[in-house]
Copies of this chain bind each other. A is one copy, B any other.
Amino acid sequence: MKVIEKINEMQEIAGSLRKKGNTIAVIPTMGYLHDGHCSLIRHGKEIADAVITTLFVNPTQFAPNEDFEKYPRDFERDFKLAEATGSDFLFHPSTEEMYPENFNSELKISGITEKFEGKFRPAHFNGVATVVAKLFNATLPDYAIFGQKDYQQTLVIKKLVKEFNFPIKIIVAPTMRETDGLAMSSRNVYLSPDERQKATILYKALCEGKKAIENGELNRINLNNILSDTLLTVRGIVIDYAAAADAETLDEPDVFNPNQSIVLLIACKIGKTRLIDNMMVLKE
């Protein structure tokens, strides 16, 4: 696996791969890879000729009070994991390479970005959209693969691609979970053993919500209450949101249509660690 640190070099490699008729899948990550990331790399290997994993902890998607500084980083480990999983390239630019002095552009997606995560992390999705557009132009992929765990982010990226006409197919791969249901996340490393135990409540709440929908519950407030009530069985949990919404638009009708695909979204704090998770209940 080749490590690339410069945007120009990455573009040249990607451009020459494409000229040879090879397809490219990109897996954007902030590193500290876990099996969720590895499943995305493996998926990339299945559908494309070359896989580029990007590793960049993007400062512009963190607010000043958030965990940019302490976000876990381990380049050696990430290198080994990505290589062992079959990634062909690891694109690992420095912050100065991505945001040189006097950088002052921003890509803003309105609408879908404004609720849920957008409400609690106001500049987050602008930072995500901006860095993803840059990573797309650096790696020139045919496919970009994202994990469903960041559900609202996948909608924002689909909108970015659609509205700016990036010639890229976005693939959303299922959330990988620990045996007890906890969604894999680089941030799980922040959890103490006690908090780690408590954190399983997110998955339990989502399962309760899903079960209720499958049993015919379509009243949004009732569904939200089922999520919250389950979460609040854990002492000290702080809920940012626990909500049912339209899976495509994130609209929140009073009562869902029986033919509407619903996503259940949770963000909450356990101790100092903020966790998110989601579950879709698809209708055909």
List residues of A whose CB falls within 8 A of some B CB. Answer: 7, 11, 15, 18-19, 21, 102-111, 129-130, 133-134, 137-138, 140, 159-160, 163-167
Contact = CB atoms under 8 A, between A and B. Distances in A.
B110 A137 contact: no
Contacts of A107: 105-108, 164
A163 B15 CA distance: 19
Nearest to A11: B167
Nearest to A104: B110
A106 B7 CA distance: 24
12 contacts: A19-B21, A102-B111, A104-B110, A104-B163, A105-B108, A105-B109, A105-B110, A105-B164, A106-B108, A108-B108, A138-B165, A140-B167
A183 B11 CA distance: 37
Contacts of A164: 105, 107, 130, 133-134, 137
Contacts of A7: 165
A160 B103 CA distance: 10
Contacts of A105: 107-110, 129, 159-160, 163-164
A37 B153 CA distance: 41
Contacts of A165: 7, 11, 134, 137-138
A137 B167 contact: yes
A103 B107 CA distance: 14
A164 B98 CA distance: 9
Contacts of A15: 167
Given A105-B107, A105-B160, A106-B108, 4 more contacts: A105-B164, A107-B108, A107-B164, A134-B164
Contacts of A130: 164
A56 to B, nearest CB: 13
Of the candidates A106, A109, A138, the one having the most CB atoms from chain B within 10 angstroms of its own CB is: A106
Closest 5 CB pairs of A and B: A104-B110, A137-B165, A105-B163, A104-B111, A11-B167
Contacts of A18: 18-19
